Chain A
């Protein structure tokens, strides 16, 4: 029995090690392929794509102590798009395999992403009202009591609701906008809202949420989607203070309900002066200077409405997320100038579009993050879902 146990134990350890190595290299490879695909498209469309060899080698030298694989495609892509010459651009493969897992505790952070408990976790009136919340198969009221769900929202005063998964959703997938049509709620795809529909579509863990009528400043970019500000915060490893490190505006494609880039949307950078940068980019690498069928000219460099207030709220809410040093908040401003938090992201944060429009991801904090990751690299854990 002891010998069998020893042999089986050895075999299992070998398999684990193999899976760990495999997942490590596959992650790097997938990031590299993705970066190369975008870079190829950008090369075709951009006029100036030459990046100095010195800058490429400086970028490689900067990140090499953290990871031996430093692909050139990322520095080329980000430099060509932003025009910023800096070795601090973070290669995506290093971010996903090393930096994020070291700064955020992935095994715990999923719970903090759950949209069904977002208003229970935080104080303040920053959240769209949740009419139905299904948490692991059970329906709860706003006060946390177990209830039988009913499709009567806001005593009949509500005309539109958003239905979406509350855990583990990405890229705006499975989000439906339902509009009241007589006694029924119908979405663009023709589905009729019912408990059976939601349970068959999502199984469990979903919410029915108030539709946000956004402020005219944000709706001018695309009226069909709620266009959100992605605010990225960082809790410094040096002094534990929260800093807003990046803000971008995400704009849905014409007719889309969601603003995600993976659903065809555009991303516009926002500069340190609080103004929108002069171009927007989509997932395919198409760069435009005008949005909303030419009605919004990004070359005008408009100041973002209520940006400072949004940043303050992000810093306030980030205080509670102690297990994650990096957070991505999706904020919008409603027609009554109320700031609403749509979701908090703490895992697999999309960073490509941020560096494509704003420059190096961590800015002045790059050195401390790099040093911290170097020091704590031995802590890296791998998990398989």
Chain B
């Protein structure tokens, strides 16, 4: 290799390292600030010894994180009532754990909602019915046949459908850009708006990579939590680095805010952790981190009185079966629920930025597997990809 090319390569390498470091530095800073603010609100005279805090810092100092947010430990320990150094800092998870236990170079492909049917073999029946999808600019119908006239295809939905769900198939998170269109005078429009579902609108909004699906109707048991959204479970599965066996880590029920069509936390929804017994946790958390003992916005639904959740064991078992289809990721978050015909449905597979907030309510994210995860991540090299837009 010539000296000039070597110089250019080294310059490029240095710029990559610098950008990555700055990205993580600002991430660390905001993680710390976020938990500092929460701790200020909920501290209420709680005391933690300096040894305890030091033990927590030592537990995670091996990671690439620039800052260990000790207030995260205090918040988690106070709310969950468990004083364990295993509470995983968000920034450590993003820096040093997810890029090791999940192959981020490959995992994006598994998050493509338009191609779940190819991935899931016999389990594809769990997916919502896809009517039209755009993959890299190419239109396909639900059966995977190429569609020559997508405009005509969209018009044809008027005959059989009352509502349509439109969402991006890749690079989406937090319920962003998810739209529900309603049949209105022979056309599909957004609720309370005149925006009509047309090919032109789709291409302007998404350009490419999106799906049009039938809207799932949820089971009455789950509808009681919030009628407007399809309330799903986020089921976390983990393939152990010690024995390669699949385990269920946590389950959380996500509930949309009133009148919202999505259940994502980012869009105002809440999540309540499910106990191993299959019942909802004894308390839910408001945005202010105040504990409440009923379903948010539903004071009549007392968490302790709801009993075992409908078909929760079947959902857990199905998530473990589904995890077999995603070999490049050890940690996966499946969004699943039960439809009105009592069938299990899979809405989404998450392999990156999975969200580890459940630990605040129920205890350390990796629980009994924490030590093996730490040992593994110390030993193995991470493959990290940052997208710069």
Task: Determine which residue in B26, B109, B138, B385 has the highest number of CB atoms from chain A within 10 A of its CB, and name it.
Answer: B109
A135 touching B327, Cβ below 8 Å: yes
Q: Compute how far the CA of A385 lies from the CA of B12 in the bound complex, rounded to whole angstroms.
A: 11
Which stretch, B17-25, B189-197, B281-289, touches the partner chain A?
B17-25
Report the minimal beta-carbon distance from A374 to chain B, rounded to whole angstroms.
15
A144 touching B108, Cβ below 8 Å: no
Which stretch, A8-16, A184-192, A289-297, A357-365, touches the partner chain B?
A8-16
Q: Contacting B388 at CB < 8 Å: which of A108, A137, A144, A384?
A: A384
- Residues on A with beta carbons closer than 8 Å to the beta carbon of B30: 5, 8
B330 touching A136, Cβ below 8 Å: yes
Residues 369 to 388 of chain B near chain A (Cβ within 8 Å): 380-381, 383-388
Residues 326 to 385 of chain A near chain B (Cβ within 8 Å): 376, 379, 381-385
Q: Compute how far the CA of A117 lies from the CA of B107 in the bound complex, rounded to whole angstroms.
A: 13
Q: Across the interface, name the chain A residue whose C-beta is closest to B328.
A: A136
Q: Across the interface, name the chain A residue whose C-beta is closest to B171.
A: A107
Q: Contacting B16 at CB < 8 Å: which of A117, A168, A376, A384?
A: A384
Q: Across the interface, name the chain A residue whose C-beta is closest to B111.
A: A108
Q: Across the interface, name the chain B residue whose C-beta is closest to A110.
A: B105
A307 touches B (CB below 8 Å): no
B324 touches A (CB below 8 Å): yes
With A23-B12, A138-B239 as contacts: A16 and B109 at CB distance below 8 Å: no
With A110-B106, A322-B135, A325-B136 as contacts: A144 and B146 at CB distance below 8 Å: no
B308 touches A (CB below 8 Å): no
Total count of chain B residues near the partner, CB < 8 A: 58
Residues 4 to 46 of chain A near chain B (Cβ within 8 Å): 4-5, 8, 11-12, 15-16, 19-20, 22-23, 26-27, 29-30, 33-34, 37
- Residues on A with beta carbons closer than 8 Å to the beta carbon of B137: 237
- Residues on B with beta carbons closer than 8 Å to the beta carbon of A204: 380
- Residues on A with beta carbons closer than 8 Å to the beta carbon of B245: 146
B103 touches A (CB below 8 Å): yes
With A107-B385, A110-B109 as contacts: A34 and B5 at CB distance below 8 Å: yes
B170 touches A (CB below 8 Å): yes
- Residues on A with beta carbons closer than 8 Å to the beta carbon of B4: 33
Task: Determine which residue in B4, B26, B103, B207 has the highest number of CB atoms from chain A within 10 A of its CB, and name it.
Answer: B103
Q: Contacting A108 at CB < 8 Å: which of B23, B112, B138?
A: B112
With A1-B33, A8-B29, A108-B112 as contacts: A385 and B328 at CB distance below 8 Å: no
Q: Across the interface, name the chain B residue whose C-beta is closest to A137.
A: B241
B9 touches A (CB below 8 Å): yes
A203 touching B381, Cβ below 8 Å: yes
Q: List 24 A-B contacts (CB under 8 A).
A: A4-B33, A5-B33, A19-B15, A19-B16, A19-B18, A19-B388, A23-B16, A30-B12, A33-B8, A34-B5, A107-B387, A108-B108, A110-B105, A110-B108, A111-B106, A136-B103, A136-B327, A137-B241, A137-B330, A167-B103, A205-B103, A379-B207, A384-B19, A384-B388
